[in-house]
Chains A and B, each alone.
Chain A
Amino acid sequence: MQWDVVATNFDYLLFGAYPEGPLGGLAMTILMALGSIFGAFWVGLVVGLMRLSPRAWLKWPAMVYIEIIRGVPLIMLILWFYFLFPILIGKTLPAIQSAMVTLVVFTSAYIAEIVRAGVQALPKGQMEASRATGLSKMQAMIYVILPQALRNMIPSFVNQFVSVTKDTSLVYVLGVTELTRAAVQVNNRTLSAPMELYMTILVMYFVICYVLTSYSRTLERKMARYQARG
């Protein structure tokens, strides 16, 4: 066993070449996951609400978007965006930007479904009572439905964050130096300790995801107490 390879390159696995060079490694993985979940939240919220609309011109595009994205493997989306985006916009997008767009789009389809399920899970009476006092549908959504639904969705958002953290490892195919690619690079350079290197990053992924998943389970238990009845 050659754990010294891991020890000497641990900085690189955590932060890439930073601060001398560009940021990478685990820090990059976490930043990408945070950026993706943030972007995907807003896109997913809009798409999810469109999906709930009784109006066909809002509902159908949302349904098509959700179904297509959930129906293809992420790695295909990553490659498609990277090679097709340049054709569409006439210039190449840096790998990291292309990767982020893909992750946001991919994750947003799942968030949209979480939003839809969360809104539909609230008792119908909440919308009726708000409309009965004269609130518009939009006002009822903003002040009554979403504050409750979004809070109930927090555990699902945390789970989605866990997924996207794992998903970021796929963008290594574009040459983005996140955790997986950092390990590949170190391995290519040293060639002596693949087992130790990949074991190390595996544990890193696992610890992050495990901590978050346990946290989301705790949240779910806590929140079960505060839900609307009836």
Chain B
Amino acid sequence: MAMIEIKDIHKWYGDFHVLKNVNESIEKGEVLVICGPSGSGKSTFIRCINRLEEIQKGEILLEGRNIYDKGVDVNELRTEVGMVFQQFNLYPHLTVLQNVTLAPIKVRKMPKSQAESIAMELLARVGIHDQAKKFPVELSGGQQQRVAIARALAMKPKVMLFDEPTSALDPEMINEVLNAMKDLARDGMTMLCVTHEMGFAREVADRVIFMDGGAIVEEGTPEHFFTNPQHERTKAFLKEIL
């Protein structure tokens, strides 16, 4: 059984057809990179997987369970699907440690001490355990994004969604975030990453998909994708970003 099964999904914003018949199947441990021009629906697509956006047609199955079923508890679903945003979205009034422990304590009802020791492990894993007592404003962009990754991991999700996690970063900070993501990929996390970091795609992606106008135009292994793209729009896009 696939980790995530996406079947014929459609989404409209009013009259505007943002997602047009998207199909995809992601295995456990697979890393999928999604690229495409601005406005092609990449963010909308991955945001449907944790129901930050609702689809109007089709289904999405997480480990065989339809996440749009009436009986599904959205909050519980979201504990299984972590998300990292372009703008980090850390809570500025809480310390780094509190940012990571908030959801485990409030949602999982975990004792504070246990949540903190898990948080410290995760912060160590992304290389910022020595900043735990600081507030987000005191950290660099790259450090903030690594905290955001730790915050998402704290709920022990089965899948991680990344929406352009390095696009808001200064160039010299991109690698520290990509390294944290590569590390995660090597540990077997199932990941969907919207990114234009093609080096990352080459190195860790199992598949790359190219979206345009709300549909998947082309997909394949990174090897296929970079050396032998079939579609004209893919070629034009690759030429622009490589």
A residues sitting closer than 8 Å to B (CB atoms) are 123, 125-126, 128-136, 139, 143-144, 147-148, 151, 226-230
Contacts and interface: CB of A to CB of B under 8 A. Distances in A.
Contact of A132 (B82, B87, B93): B82
* Shortest Cβ-Cβ A-B pairs, 4 listed: A129-B89, A133-B103, A125-B89, A134-B79
Interface in B67-81: 75-76, 78-79, 81
A23 to B, nearest CB: 39
A135 B94 CA distance: 16
B85 A133 contact: no
Contacts of B82: 132-133
Contacts of B103: 130, 133-135
Contacts of B52: 128, 131-132
B190 interface: no
B137 A133 contact: no
A36 B71 CA distance: 45
B89 A143 contact: no
B226 interface: no
A133 B88 contact: no
Contacts of A126: 89, 91
B83 A132 contact: yes
Contact of A128 (B76, B79, B89, B151): B89
Contacts of B90: 129
Contacts of A227: 92
Given A131-B78, A136-B75, 11 more contacts: A126-B89, A129-B91, A130-B91, A131-B75, A132-B50, A132-B52, A132-B152, A133-B82, A135-B102, A144-B91, A148-B93
Contact of A139 (B106, B151, B155): B106
A54 to B, nearest CB: 13
Nearest to B50: A132
Contact of B155 (A125, A134, A228): A134
Given A125-B87, A230-B87, A133 B93 contact: no
Contacts of A139: 106-107
B126 to A, nearest CB: 16
A151 B93 contact: yes
A17 B149 CA distance: 65
24 contacts: A125-B87, A128-B85, A129-B85, A129-B90, A129-B91, A130-B102, A131-B75, A132-B82, A133-B155, A134-B78, A134-B79, A134-B103, A134-B107, A134-B155, A135-B102, A135-B103, A135-B106, A135-B107, A139-B107, A143-B106, A144-B91, A148-B91, A226-B92, A226-B137
A127 to B, nearest CB: 9
Contact of A135 (B50, B75, B81): B75
A123 B87 contact: yes
Nearest to A139: B106
Given A123-B87, A143-B106, A133 B151 contact: yes
Interface string B13-55: 0000000000000000000000000000000000000101000
Contacts of A134: 75-76, 78-79, 103, 107, 155
A13 B225 CA distance: 84
Nearest to A230: B87
Residue with the highest number of chain B CB atoms closer than 10 Å, among A123, A130, A134, A228: A134
A135 B154 CA distance: 13
